[in-house]
């Protein structure tokens, strides 16, 4: 019997990862406030390379990737093109923005780092389909919600085990198949 698909948003996975919420269905509510204004401005400001602008124009705004019967959905914040002089090629570096009026808490930073690692996992096939490669380093940028000032930039590397974490977080949901990352039961 075919397993039903389970849908989850990257933001919900990140909130569950830091313990801020359980993975329960919640409707998407579009909102546009000071944080989104700063996100939009920063997204445009850092895409100062023709290749970055082309990617922003051609990549779907809302993306998804399948792992088993789990559909992970999200909308990444931004990207930069980084020229690697050793390799002689342009590489894509993803950026996750967090807006705040004050310093971001450790929990907020941890959530943003995990969220960015999920986006790296999600976008990798899209980037590679265009004949490009991801840079080894990506960034969480903490920006002031009112002024847009960059408060902090945190380097983030790809996590090769992020897909396993998705399965761990989703393991309690109905309709989720057995994780392909756990060892199979040994029959006695």
Structure-token match 């923005």, residue found: 97
Q: What is the arithmetic mean of pLDDT over 99-123?
A: 94
pLDDT tens digits along 13-26: 999 999 887 776 65
Percent of the chain clearing pLDDT 90 (strictly above): 60
pTM, two decimals, is 0.87
Report d(CA 96, CA 52) in Å as an integer: 15
């Amino acid at each position: 019997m075919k397993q039903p698909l389970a849908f989850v948003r990257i933001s919900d996975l990140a909130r569950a990862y830091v313990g801020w919420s359980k993975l329960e269905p919640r409707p998407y509510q579009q909102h546009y406030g000071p944080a989104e204004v700063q996100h939009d401005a920063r997204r445009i400001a850092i895409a100062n390379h023709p290749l970055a602008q082309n990617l922003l124009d051609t990549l779907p705004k809302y993306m998804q990737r399948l792992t088993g019967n789990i559909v992970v959905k999200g909308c990444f914040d931004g990207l930069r093109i980084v020229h690697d002089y050793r390799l002689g090629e342009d590489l894509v570096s993803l950026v996750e923005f967090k807006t705040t009026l004050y310093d971001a808490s450790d929990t907020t930073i941890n959530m943003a780092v995990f969220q960015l690692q999920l986006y790296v996992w999600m976008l990798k096939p899209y980037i590679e389909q265009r004949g490009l490669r991801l840079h080894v380093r990506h960034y969480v940028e903490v920006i002031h919600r009112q002024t847009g000032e960059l408060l902090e930039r945190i380097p983030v590397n790809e996590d090769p085990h992020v897909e396993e974490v998705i399965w761990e977080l989703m393991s309690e949901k109905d309709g989720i198949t057995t994780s392909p990352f756990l060892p199979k039961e040994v029959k006695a």
